[in-house]
Amino acid sequence: MLQRLNTDTLNWIIIIGVLLFVLEVAFFNGGLIFSVLFSGLLMYIGWKKYARLWAKVVFWVGAVSLTFTILNMMAVRFLIVAGLILFLVHYSRSKKEAVHLKPEWSPDAREPLFKVEPLFQQKFFGNQQTDDMAYQWKDINIHGGFGDRIIDLSNTVLPVDDTAVISIRHLIGNIEIYVPYEVEVSISHSAVFGRAAVFDNPYTNLINQQLAYRTEGYGSKQPQVKIITSLFSGNIEVKRI
């Protein structure tokens, strides 16, 4: 924004700011210089002995006092208002002068797309689970609010030449994932509050923690699944089936 600002405009803002500062010191607030110097002295004394508790208190008292003194100056208020006005003017101009790029293409060059129905829908309330019968695998990427999520991988065939992905971001509820024995697993789980059990490895109390594990054969050509989950409050269980 400053690069596009007219030099004359910037000069006028600086001149008016300086004039307001001189007028305030000379006619309206003669003690301003004393307040600034006193606050600066407190900060200097506190900084020199900052390792001690009283010095920390003195330093921050001076810093707060100096901040309020500066913000109460007419010149600083003018500069803040001028900056906000310039920002709004610049934003308005940028909206009007926005560059629109419209690539040329022909209908024959359009890339074919096929719509894929996801296994899970985005639901803020309620429970969800995979079908009890055989189903075609599709990567899962969902977020939710309240309820439980159950994913059973024993009823599907995971891709051998690619990594299946399960990504769940949830507020409150439990997540259960059942993985066949021949499938390799990588899991990354974070929770603010909750518990976790990963292949019989229990974690009774998770408070703002993250867990990350992977099986020994993960990265080989065996079927593998990458699990990424996050919970605000709830339990996760990953077990073999």
pLDDT number for residue 110: 61
pLDDT number for residue 86: 77
Angle CA(121)–CA(127)–CA(130) in degrees, nearest 5? 65
**Integer Cα distance of 62 and 136 in angstroms:** 67
* Per-position pLDDT tens, the chain of length 241: 544 555 666 667 777 878 877 887 777 766 777 888 888 888 888 888 888 888 889 989 988 988 888 777 777 888 888 878 877 777 677 666 555 555 555 555 566 766 777 777 777 777 888 887 888 888 889 888 888 899 999 888 888 888 899 999 998 889 999 999 989 999 999 998 888 999 888 887 788 889 999 998 898 878 999 999 999 888 999 999 8
Residue found by looking up tokens 């077990």 in the block: 239
Whole-structure pTM over 0.85, yes or no? no
The answer to whether residues 116 and 131 touch, using CB atoms and an 8 Å cutoff, is no
- Tell me, rounded to whole angstroms, the distance of Cα 35 from its chain centroid: 40
The answer to whether residues 205 and 195 touch, using CB atoms and an 8 Å cutoff, is yes
